[in-house]
Structure 1
Amino acid sequence: MSVTAIVITVLTALWVGFSGVSLLRRAPFVVDPLVSYGVPRPWWTPLAVAKLLGAAGLLAGLAVPAVGVAAAVGLILYFVGAVVTVLRARSYKTVAFPVLYLAPVAVTLTIAFTQ
């Protein structure tokens, strides 16, 4: 694996991990939109854990590429679901936010785990 792929993987994992921690801590910039999108409060912790496990899986993928592929695919599905949730809530002005997480994960999958 190239140095570029490793750096991209680590940065993506940190970015997704930040999102997971922010949700666990109930940061207003994360939970206020969830309320407006209609995401049930009991889902918040499992969603945060999914992000954190995905971030850890990306890092584990540096040693075991199959784990990284599985984590990246899972995170892509997660963030596609987030985009759909935002669109269903008709919050078109905020659809860019889940895309800001989706794009780096897709790039990581492409660069780091499909060589």
Structure 2
Amino acid sequence: MFVAYLTVTLLASTLNGSAAVANLIGHEYPKTEADRNQIPRSWVRPLGVLLGAGALGLLAGIVVPVVGTLAAAGLVLYFVGGLGAHVRAGNYRLGAWALFFLLALAALTVNLAYHPR
């Protein structure tokens, strides 16, 4: 079980961390997605900070399990909000969203399974 937990956690952290970096450095992809979802471009960096906090929280959760659980739950909520933004804007290109959401959900699931309360 530890191998599954570690694999999913590292994968989710890496993917969300790279998305955070893309948002924070002003890469064109997050800006295009913000425009497509009718989100102000001024929100791109703060959203990147949230992604980065989630990625770092997942890593910290390896040492302090409750932090990982909260980070994974936060990422799930972040992507539920992202789905709302997509639907509100009429943007049904949900491939990338589904990948990120399912990975966050998997991270939460393995975290709860590996660290039962």
Question: What TM-score do you get using the length of structure 1 for normalisation?
Answer: 0.92
Query: Could you say what secondary structure the match of 2:18 adopts?
Result: helix
Between 23-32 and 102-111, report the one with greater CA deviation.
23-32
Stretches of structure 1 lacking an aligned partner (at least 5 in a row): none
Q: CA RMSD in A?
A: 1.3
Alignment length, in residue pairs? 114
Partner amino acid, structure 1, of 2:109:
T
Alpha-carbon distance in structure 1 between the residues aligned to 2:37 and 2:107? 28
Shift of 1:79: 0.6
Shift of 1:18: 0.7
Alpha-carbon distance in structure 1 between the residues aligned to 2:91 and 2:42? 22
| Identical residues among aligned pairs (%) | 34
Instruction: Give the corresponding residue for 1:101.
Output: 100
Shift of 1:96: 2.1
Instruction: Give the corresponding residue for 1:78.
Output: 78
On the 8 A contact 2:30/2:44 being kept in 1, the answer is no
The structure-2 alpha-carbon separation of the partners of 1:42 and 1:29, relative to structure 1 and needing over 3 Å to count, comes to closer
Task: String of CA shifts for 1:36-69, please: whole Å, max 9, x gaps.
Answer: 2111122111100000000000000001110001
Give structure 1 regions of 4+ aligned residues with deviation exceeding 6 angstroms: none
Correspondence 1:18-97 to 2 at 5 A? 18-92=18-92, 94-97=93-96
Stretches of structure 2 lacking an aligned partner (at least 5 in a row): none
Alpha-carbon distance in structure 2 between the residues aligned to 1:4 and 1:95? 26
Alpha-carbon distance in structure 2 between the residues aligned to 1:89 and 1:48? 20
Question: What TM-score do you get using the length of structure 2 for normalisation?
Answer: 0.90
